[in-house]
A and B are shown apart, each in its own frame.
Chain A
Amino acid sequence: MKKKILAIICFSIVITSCSEDKDIILNPVAITLNFNHSWNGTEITNADFGQLKFTNENDQMLSIERLRYVVSEVSLTHESGEVTVLNDYNLVDLTNNEGMSFRTSEGILPGEYSAVTFRFGLKRADNTDGAYPDLNTANFNVPAPLGGGYHFMQFDGKYINTASAEAPFNYHVISAIDPTNINDAVDTSFTLNVGRVTVGSNTNITIQMEVSEWFKNPNIWDLNEYDINLMGNYDVQLLMNQNGSSVFDLVSITQ
């Protein structure tokens, strides 16, 4: 990362020093990412929490009471193929309306980029147990017997079960760990390519999480079957990972 920043700075200097008459000053700029949330296309906020107002693909009524997740490795890919990571990670917390919008910690030179990508969760090499004080303080850790590191998402609520009673669900996404062999984790974080982007002085990228997709595609989710104690369920974690692939969409890129 430091080398990349140094290269950007040097590049800026070269551009600004090559002509006295036509100074083109290009300074690295940060970009802003905004995360919105929807249910079947209708925007949701934490004001919608705590109400049995949503129906999943399996025709189960449910409420959302807590939703927070980590996005990491916000990156831009230059036409040359060079990838620049602009942000290590960020906790998006819809429950408390925190972290929904953030500027990348690193900047990049304005211009055309062939892809902007981010990762849902933390890749295995970065998912180091206890390594991130802000995530520790936010109580986002995963117990060591489940592989340690951090939750990727904590999504809690209630649903109407087969007995027509309200029952809790804890849709918690972590690295998929076979409890009989915790060293053999499957990296269930995943990257999403938002597409091409022109980076200007004030670039805003808005991403939407379509929450209903966690229960829909490709695996129709039966909360009666998978509601609680899912963190240590290796197979269920893989199902979550599959459903996550269709959860995020680009809404807009504005300058």
Chain B
Amino acid sequence: MSCSNQDTDLEEEYIPVPFSLKVPELFQQKLIDPLIPNNNPLTEEGVALGRKLFFDKKLSGNNTQACATCHKPQNSFTDDTRFSDGIEGVFGVRNSMPLINLAWNFSDRFAWDGKELGLERQALEPVINPIEMHNNWNNVVTRLEQDPEYPILFSRAFGTTSIDSTLVAKAIAQFERILISGNSKFDQYLLGNATLSLQELNGFAVFMDEEKGDCFHCHGSDNNPLWTDNKFHNNGLDANFNDLGLGTVTGDPNDNGKFRSPTLRNLTFSAPYMHDGRFATLEEVINHYSEGLQFSPTIDPLMKKVSQGGVQLSAEEKIALKAFLLTLTDFEFINNPDFRD
């Protein structure tokens, strides 16, 4: 009896171990510190719990889908299909967004349209979305409480066996914050540990040339290794919108057709591209910016040559630009066992 009490006391007193975030060297040099909320610090136990939940199909109504179903690790945590289907076979209208370096999104607006304010809130939504996991939180909590492992895991991570949606979301958010990609060939080039081919260097020059690709204004640079500004832009996909993007969230017509810039890391794995996955290949993406721009009232002024259809890259420049973009591929990230089930 007394031994049992002692065990309970020990469990109640368990203090989670702070998680040591592995921030890449370039990030340390070039970026401000990642955003970790004070009310959800990273812990070993919280991250481990979040990982288990991320891959657990118990979160879906019929136990067939997990977060990882649409955010596949091998695809840089996005889906390899244009749209993702939910547990009842109903497809959404957007390509799932890659989950990379989310702790450096300082606007704290997530998803393509910015509707999710904070990772913790974002993690709540797919579970109850009728065309995604189509569950309700009472069901999820009951399942987790009845599971032989989860109560102790929650106790270790958060000091309570009383599971609720907030703690589930906190754990998943902790796991998502450790999904850091910062070890591509280009990263190693910047650190002096790798060389680029002439074609890759030419592609980088196109990327950084205001009069050529002019990609750097929205997609980072050698000084911004996120390869995104995490801001919202109308990049000239459509003259008329069937998806208002940020405009749906803010209600401001000036935001219609604007979507968050995705990172350019790991494009090798994250096709198809754009918020609706309309482009199957990188060639199609580059062609869009080169000659496929459509004017609309909210098109970003940085789409400067819209009257000519785009920046009019030569065939050689397009090939070089693609070669450069592929240097942002991070195989270590894709194969990291810490990010797998």
Interfacial residues, chain A to chain B (CB-CB below 8 A): 49-51, 65-66, 96, 129-130, 133-134, 136-139, 141, 143-146, 156-158, 165-170, 227-229, 231-232
Q: Which of A134, A157, A231, A232 contacts B301 (CB 8 A)?
A: A157
Q: Is B94 engaged at the interface, CB distance under 8 Å to the other chain?
A: no
User: Can you list 6 pairs linking A and B with CB atoms under 8 Å apart?
Assistant: A133-B30, A133-B32, A137-B31, A145-B208, A167-B307, A168-B304
Q: Which residues of B contact A158 (CB under 8 A)?
A: 301
Q: Is B133 engaged at the interface, CB distance under 8 Å to the other chain?
A: no
Q: Which of A130, A146, A157, A228 contacts B30 (CB 8 A)?
A: A130
Closest approach, in angstroms, between the C-beta of A7 and any C-beta of chain B?
31
Q: Which residues of A contact B326 (CB under 8 A)?
A: none
Cβ contact within 8 Å between A228 and B31: no
Q: A130-B222, A141-B223 known; A168 and B210 CB under 8 Å?
A: no
Cβ contact within 8 Å between B208 and A229: no
Cβ contact within 8 Å between A229 and B226: no
Cβ contact within 8 Å between B31 and A136: yes
Cβ contact within 8 Å between A143 and B302: no
Closest to B212 in A: A229
A50 to B209, CA, bound (A): 26
Given A137-B106, A170-B301; 10 other pairs, CB 8 A cutoff: A133-B32, A136-B224, A137-B226, A139-B216, A139-B217, A139-B220, A141-B223, A170-B302, A170-B304, A231-B210
Interfacial residues, chain B to chain A (CB-CB below 8 A): 29-32, 104, 106-107, 205, 208-211, 216-218, 220-224, 226, 229, 231, 254, 295, 297-307
Cβ contact within 8 Å between B301 and A168: yes
Closest to A51 in B: B254
Cβ contact within 8 Å between B211 and A133: no
Cβ contact within 8 Å between B254 and A232: no
Q: Which of A65, A130, A232 contacts B300 (CB 8 A)?
A: A65
Q: Which residues of A contact B222 (CB under 8 A)?
A: 130, 144
Closest to A151 in B: B217
Q: Which of A130, A141, A156 contacts B216 (CB 8 A)?
A: A141
Closest to A65 in B: B301
Closest approach, in angstroms, between the C-beta of A250 and any C-beta of chain B?
30
Q: Which residues of B contact A145 (CB under 8 A)?
A: 205, 208-209
Q: Which of B205, B226, B301 has most chain A Cβ within 10 Å?
A: B301
Chief secondary structure at chain A's binding surface: mixed
Cβ contact within 8 Å between B229 and A168: no
Cβ contact within 8 Å between B301 and A50: no
A156 to B295, CA, bound (A): 16
A145 to B209, CA, bound (A): 8
A170 to B211, CA, bound (A): 12
Q: Which of B31, B218, B254 contacts A50 (CB 8 A)?
A: B254
Q: A137-B32, A167-B307 known; A143 and B301 CB under 8 Å?
A: no
A138 to B211, CA, bound (A): 22
Closest to A49 in B: B254
Q: Which residues of B contact A168 (CB under 8 A)?
A: 299-304, 306
Cβ contact within 8 Å between B301 and A229: no
Closest approach, in angstroms, between the C-beta of B107 and any C-beta of chain A?
8
Q: Which residues of A contact B211 (CB under 8 A)?
A: 229, 232
Cβ contact within 8 Å between A133 and B31: yes
A169 to B301, CA, bound (A): 6
Cβ contact within 8 Å between A146 and B210: yes
A143 to B214, CA, bound (A): 10
Q: Which of A96, A138, A168 has most chain B Cβ within 10 Å?
A: A168
Q: Which residues of B contact A137 (CB under 8 A)?
A: 31-32, 104, 106, 224, 226
Cβ contact within 8 Å between A166 and B297: yes
Closest to A133 in B: B32
A100 to B205, CA, bound (A): 34
Q: A136-B224, A141-B221, A229-B304 known; A50 and B298 CB under 8 Å?
A: yes
Q: Which residues of B contact A165 (CB under 8 A)?
A: 307
A116 to B22, CA, bound (A): 43
A49 to B253, CA, bound (A): 11
Q: Which of B31, B210, B211, B218 has most chain A Cβ within 10 Å?
A: B210
Closest approach, in angstroms, between the C-beta of A245 and any C-beta of chain B?
25
Q: A141-B224, A166-B295 known; A232 and B31 CB under 8 Å?
A: no
Closest approach, in angstroms, between the C-beta of A222 and any C-beta of chain B?
17
Closest to A63 in B: B301
Q: Which residues of A contact B307 (CB under 8 A)?
A: 165, 167
Q: Which of A50, A139, A170, A227 contacts B229 (CB 8 A)?
A: A139
Closest to B33 in A: A133
Q: Which residues of A contact B205 (CB under 8 A)?
A: 145
Closest to B304 in A: A228
Q: Which residues of A contact B209 (CB under 8 A)?
A: 143, 145
